[in-house]
Structure 1
């Protein structure tokens, strides 16, 4: 299998959600949650949740893809309702 096909298959069928950890205030903490997508022949990351150190707030810059929402709705109807009711671009203090 050529490398591009392998990367596409991994992106579409194996790894869907990625977590980024970083040193924040001297501790290793979750800083970003992203959804991996295969777009226009390359891997793209849809920023679902990101921690902004400067404000101390979590922001939700993008929503899940339609493909991810279909999977969530099939396996977790309550979680799907929570996601679909939240607004893109919101921020939450922590």
Structure 2
């Protein structure tokens, strides 16, 4: 199999993961600067997770550029990677709420 399907699937999973992360962020109920500062840990957690996912996406992109074709081992290894990356929204939410 060529790499196009694997790239598209991986891109889709990462897009969903990032969407879930941003939907977990809630706007503060307090409209003051203090209210905004109260959600700083959540925003920093999101920012770091977004950068982390961006690095993985970039590395995946470059890896697929040099890969000629995909076999079963590569498919399963990629699914393994995507499984762990799909847990990032949970970890991001947990760290943002309890990581003080």
TM-score (norm 1): 0.26
Select the structure that is richer in strand.
1
TM-score (norm 2): 0.25
If asked which structure has higher relative contact order (CA below 8 Å, sep 6+), I would say 2
Select the structure that is richer in helix.
2
